[in-house]
Structure 1
Amino acid sequence: MSLLTIDNAACKGCGICIQACPVSIISMSDDKTPFVSAEKEKRCVLCGHCESICPDSALKHNHLPEMAPIRREKLKEVTPDNIAEYFRSRRSIRAFLPKKVEKETLEEVIDIVRYAPTGVNRQMNRWVVVSDSQTIRQLGEGVIAWMKAMIPVNPELAKRLNFAGLVAAFERGNDVICRNAPHLVIGYTETAYSTGAKDNTIAASHLELLLPAFGLGGCWAGYLMVALQFSPDLKKVIGLNDSYTVHSALMVGYPKYRYFKTPQRKEAQVNWM
């Protein structure tokens, strides 16, 4: 089966699909019909831009599932003003209600995150969602154990990141690692995948921005993320070995408090050219 099916009655030969193809494999025949030659088909990254951009629904990508039409009536609510306000009102949440998030809600959030961009449309992101309180506690204790081991090995790093102070606080009963979050969402890819860090960081950022729309909040669990990158023992707790590398970790739950003002940020530093 060829890569594309063209409805000749609907196709106007506008060539928009050719312009949209990120790998430039679509050509126009003499009779103004888009096509992909057999030798170029293997370069397709399955992004679906060609089918999704066709204004006349005249093109079908035969290697992709049926596409749902964009519901334009839903997008009328997205304006520069309200999306800017949404972005500005985002806060990192470190205090959570002692309440679990429904699994179906977390599934819906992660399902949406599938649409975050990835390098050459590889879609290699994977996730571990930790909801078991004992496992979350075990991960926090594992980070503290890793910090203790790092203090004599890399004192400069330990001092810069205040490992000694964090260890002391944790041992006093203050969970400075996972913040008593009811859930952890940990993102990873295969270690051999060269752009995994970029792809997963983009996806995790999408996830954090999505959370408030579901009444949830999140915060990057930076210490956990770093420890999972360097401690094989800690990775085993979430079922991973050296074949995989962790790139993100977020604490997720229902916010305990509500914010009413937006703190100022530094002016953007831009070189206009």
Structure 2
Amino acid sequence: MTRTLSLGYSPCPNDTFIFYALVHGRIPLEGIQLRERLEDVETLNRLALDAVLDLTKISYHALGHLRRDYALLRSGGALGRGCGPLVVTRQAASMEALRGCTIAIPGELTTANLLLQLYGAGYENTSIMPFDRIMAAVQRGEVDAGVIIHESRFTFPSYGLVQVADLGAWWERETGHPIPLGGILARRSLGPELISRIDGAIRSSIEYAFAHPEETKGYIKRHSQELSDPVIESHIGLYVNEFSLDLGVAGQAAIEELFQRAERRGIIPSCQLPLFVD
């Protein structure tokens, strides 16, 4: 008997690269059929809060609110160095000057917003909008600044915008850890054996994509909002790395540090459950 599980991930190149082989039958997952759902990251965060999905990509900020019902997988996430969100404006400014200003963010539960709030007080006046609308909103003067993620890291100069801060670089200087952006979750109720199988299948899917990059291109481009090939390749190169294959000790330490800081600030609730189901 085949069991169907829902799987949520974003249409961004790193996610479609990671999950291509798994959802196209290149990686066997006996007895399991996956029903994929592609949504922007904040929509996925909200779906997970409503317990809609069995497996899903989420922001680590959202995971801080989901630890009771979901366990983190060791594979498939986005964590690294030099890949954090950027704060951009129309004209050169400082983070100090932006306190109290209106700042566009790609979602309340995104790690981008969590990093902004951890950076310091005075950045609570936020305007939530889809990540791909933020640069245009800043350009038009609808907001004072924007926190940009994903491929926007590579394209913001074309909007005439300037970088005020790299929140990922700030995190790395502050903690010494790589920056945890997003991870893959599984319902704890699926049980350790099935969760372990899924985790291994996602790692195999990434290895397949690295071994067959040309095969993945058509699927990636169908969902990448007409990005150019160089931007797609840069995006994958930045967000899919050794931590995507396995978080390892360094990745786990970074996540725990993020949660400890967020708990101390009262941004997320405390939780005694382990991150992983082993």
Q: Into which bin does the TM-score normalised by the smaller protein fall?
A: under 0.3
Bigger RCO of structures 1 and 2 (CA < 8 A, at least 6 apart)? 2
Higher strand share goes to which structure?
Answer: 2
Normalising to structure 2: TM-score of the pair? 0.21
Normalising to structure 1: TM-score of the pair? 0.21
